[in-house]
Structure 1
């Protein structure tokens, strides 16, 4: 087994409350339960020796491997091919769609041989609480129970397993048409044990899962040129959404580095207001209203609680249940992915001021007419109060969209998204005849625009820049300016900004967020190109009428996806995927770019 496989060599499975990563060689090396943000059960991805893993693979170490998804589902197939035969491992988790947290979370792994004869080896080595909690093993025929404080992992197998210390291992040889199964169920220490293992029952669960995902995808209204990539991105966003509350997480993992060996290793298993808003906007654009409605309720609850600091209506991120406490700590006992330390648990950025979040929230949800109608008068009062607060607070330095740790600045993007918040609020008040301080909101909106035009523009760059001041640099977040309507997509000042970005931030069609050397962010090291920004670049090019470079960039970006169509946060200098995986930001921006580019190409053809 590779000590640390490339980040891209993974597929994602999940049950809409948590998720697991499976390598292309059949190893579950990341799994936290019962929620995305729970302590890990397997975390070999962060420490091969201490993290724990769950492996089912061909016993032939020279067998070649191929991994794919069963079409339009979250069922992962890992195929092993050797001179003696061809075998497959199917991995999935039965989806929990209800609003109540599930009492059990199940990873189902079935092995079967489709040609010749294949021997499969199995190892299950859990390491609870990020490898900090010891466990004890209870082993009976066909059942192994791993017990740790407050949690229990129940392993059922159709073939014999044996003790290996406090872990288990086993093997089974299968001829053509034969199958075996291993089911791992994580539950609370006092929860009821799962029912006995049944091969027929597993088969039914497999087809139920396939039917669920394929039926859900059929709800998409996308009819464009790239259905496979768009559908896979939509499924990924759905997999990263916590069904009981409707809150999307930024990524399934924690601690994966933006630079191998560097310190930019964050915990992304939480719900950012920004990321969550844009995720549901992408799904809403595809016709998935239910997901947007659920997130609206979640966000409304946060606004009613007013959990931000110093009277702010919101803090920038929360746990999936809305809990605001996200204290950051260092897991010093873990070596980190390929030595990338420190491994951080929690996220100190939760205490930052990022004023743009109000703009993304209003931008994402204002287009859903059904949502706006359902929201009602009480929800409007909360929204109106929020905009009244923002009228007094928009002109404050903040940490900005990229969560820099080098001090607050007057970030241009934050101002633009504040403008967007008032713009959408005014539209909603007019369309639905809601009471609002229209004069105040209008004056504030216009004051923001005047300020950005005067102070956010750089004569030397001939472009809108990251923050106010003579030392300002370019920033790819500004690629959203035409999408939210702050500038016309073919305005000369905007076209000049696009040209400046192309000269300084674009590298062979891939886009950096900004230049950390020119804009100190309080952290050591560098990073790769930011995949979100590349897709935003496609969107901006298409809106500007530059369709050939837009399509070239978009389709070239597809070649950086992994073997099952997933993207991490960044692309490194050698084309490798970096950062937490898979990244919701990347997949939501792919959907946005595809929709914009399709519409532009259709208009051109028409």
Structure 2
């Protein structure tokens, strides 16, 4: 259980780490330690926000419920679930606020057979004392809040009306209400089909909350425990499930947009979309922690999206299409004044050659577990493998999605090698038509070229570009993709160079040298959490298990009191940066836990089939 702490705001904002995530597989919400729902999109992850005070505490909108005189609070999850509890207390007493997106009693999360509840329930209970509760219902700036009998309706463009009902009479959309010892208040937000149901859960909140708790725990029982830090492994698995789009298995990168990678910088991106790289990387870990159906769903989505789009995209919306064009929202000031706020993501229209390897690797994992490749899909995969033969030495925008002129990134070339290798393996394993021997021969040659042409004697490491130059933590992923063995002398030297020159202290790593950004944005950024998990994987692959375990434990210490991880950490104070919670950081934790668990049982570490993406 989290410790009681005073509420601390900077420029009107809670720290990013002071938020919990609740959801139902279609949408989700961030709930702050101050009792506010501060970010929520309806009806889907990538819809127009209903509440966005996380991006503008004055005009973003929120649903706040808190004691009028709160002095300290804490948050915790009901164990083994996605049900969040916020405890708040002040001089007059203590309240407990339980937040959950309700699930049908017969829902089976492993089968993604969730009924359309479309309801967020907030249940407030006075633990002791007599508490004056303050509440504020304010949608995003420009939207309307209208009375509708005993409820309120929130209306705005691009989403269905949202109905807000209180179990007790309230004086308006903002005000106070006093509750005595043991008394409670329930607030229900419904939309879509949920808006047409009765008020059973409003009148008897325990019914819906107990059913939701049972559904989560039934699913969580599948997650393995024989790994280091099983508590964080389970929480990471639940977090990924909250970001798993129920309708088709798409995994969104994060539930938020525009949380800054540097305070008052410009690296603010919209992550409410699905990256092919994240999918390929996630599958490795999910299978090995006892969630094969989730892994299958992710793979199915990735192959279907890449096939239907005609040409491979780096990221997709939830329907498998290109996300909307990127725009800047001048109406919102940004988290702690860190503009711009962006919706949409222009990286979807970049050229990134590593996507060839990501898609072929997804196909290989799909087939390796019994998935069928129909003739049309195999024709597309063959075409991608043939394109990878020449794409590897052409400039692209790379894994970090640079917004400058492209260049021949080593990681992209390595992933073209993966495309050729996986195509050869698929052809051989499934007796499919294609240039099996040619792909295999070209894959071996390209692996040798990466080792040779990316090596920089002066740096003493493999470097960011073919031809040498620039140290880049993405090269730590090469052993994870079976391009270069972790214990190859040049990979060992690269690991050492990355640790020495990109280390940010406390086991953290920068993606690249702060003054040598490849993306044309001359700003320092936080330490990239996933890269440190990659470092632990490499140490394990080199047989340095004790060092890898020590690093893993240090990385786990950065998790929030709820066990949630961001994209980046500010090395100066440990504060969170970037969109939150970040799916791929949780995937990194899971994958490294699996590797270390196997190593501690005397099984040789398997670093294969893992990768990543992002600006």
Question: Considering the TM-score relative to the shorter chain, is it more than 0.5?
Answer: yes
- Does structure 1 retain, via aligned residues, the 8 Å contact 2:392–2:408? no
1:344–1:521 distance in 2 versus 1, CA, 3 Å: same
The answer on 1:213 being equivalent to 2:216 is yes
Residues 582-597 of structure 1: pairs in structure 2 closer than 5 A = 582-597=581-596
1:529–1:220 distance in 2 versus 1, CA, 3 Å: same
Aligned-partner Cα distance in 2 for 1:535–1:297: 26
Which range moves more in the overlay, 246-255 or 279-288? 279-288
Which range moves more in the overlay, 582-591 or 433-442? 433-442
Residues 340-419 of structure 1: pairs in structure 2 closer than 5 A = 340-364=338-362, 366-367=364-365, 371-419=369-417
For residue 235 of structure 2, what is the aligned residue in structure 1? 232
The answer on 1:174 being equivalent to 2:204 is no
How far 1:380 sits from its partner (Å)?
3.2
For residue 53 of structure 1, what is the aligned residue in structure 2? 62
Can you list the C-alpha shifts for 1:147-177, whole angstroms capped at 9, x where unaligned?
33453110111111222xxx4444240313x
SS in 2 for 1:247: coil
- Does structure 1 retain, via aligned residues, the 8 Å contact 2:17–2:560? yes
1:565–1:481 distance in 2 versus 1, CA, 3 Å: same
- Does structure 2 retain, via aligned residues, the 8 Å contact 1:250–1:276? no
* One of 475, 486, 490 as aligned partner of 1:478: 475
Unaligned runs of 5+ in 2: 1-6, 606-615
Aligned-partner Cα distance in 1 for 2:195–2:53: 28
Can you list the C-alpha shifts for 1:235-257, whole angstroms capped at 9, x where unaligned?
11111111101101110100100
How far 1:450 sits from its partner (Å)?
2.6
For residue 423 of structure 2, what is the aligned residue in structure 1? 425
Can you list the C-alpha shifts for 1:93-147, whole angstroms capped at 9, x where unaligned?
02486879987632110011233433332221112xxx3x431412423x22223
For residue 16 of structure 2, what is the aligned residue in structure 1? 7
- Does structure 1 retain, via aligned residues, the 8 Å contact 2:285–2:594? no
Which range moves more in the overlay, 318-327 or 18-27? 318-327
For residue 491 of structure 2, what is the aligned residue in structure 1? 494
Residues 181-580 of structure 1: pairs in structure 2 closer than 5 A = 181-187=186-192, 193-199=196-202, 201-307=204-310, 313-364=311-362, 366-367=364-365, 371-470=369-468, 472-508=469-505, 509-572=507-570, 573-580=572-579
Aligned-partner Cα distance in 2 for 1:154–1:418: 50
* One of 69, 72, 78 as aligned partner of 2:77: 69
Unaligned runs of 5+ in 1: 308-312
Aligned-partner Cα distance in 2 for 1:138–1:49: 22
Can you list the C-alpha shifts for 1:396-430, whole angstroms capped at 9, x where unaligned?
21110001112211111111112122222222222
For residue 26 of structure 2, what is the aligned residue in structure 1? 17
Aligned residues: 588
Aligned-partner Cα distance in 1 for 2:448–2:242: 41
The answer on 1:80 being equivalent to 2:117 is no
For residue 609 of structure 2, what is the aligned residue in structure 1? none
Aligned-partner Cα distance in 1 for 2:290–2:375: 25
- Does structure 2 retain, via aligned residues, the 8 Å contact 1:467–1:473? yes
The CA RMSD measured in Å over matched residues stands at: 2.4
Can you list the C-alpha shifts for 1:232-290, whole angstroms capped at 9, x where unaligned?
11111111111101101110100100011110000000111111222233212223222
Which range moves more in the overlay, 386-395 or 456-465? 386-395
How far 1:299 sits from its partner (Å)?
2.2
For residue 310 of structure 1, what is the aligned residue in structure 2? none
Residues 83-162 of structure 1: pairs in structure 2 closer than 5 A = 83-95=91-103, 105-127=118-140, 131=141, 133-141=142-150, 143-149=151-157, 150-162=159-171
Which range moves more in the overlay, 487-496 or 387-396? 387-396
SS in 2 for 1:382: helix
How far 1:432 sits from its partner (Å)?
2.5
Aligned-partner Cα distance in 2 for 1:442–1:558: 39
Aligned-partner Cα distance in 1 for 2:343–2:167: 37
1:194–1:145 distance in 2 versus 1, CA, 3 Å: farther
1:260–1:520 distance in 2 versus 1, CA, 3 Å: same
1:99–1:488 distance in 2 versus 1, CA, 3 Å: closer
Aligned-partner Cα distance in 2 for 1:437–1:594: 38
Which range moves more in the overlay, 144-153 or 326-335? 144-153
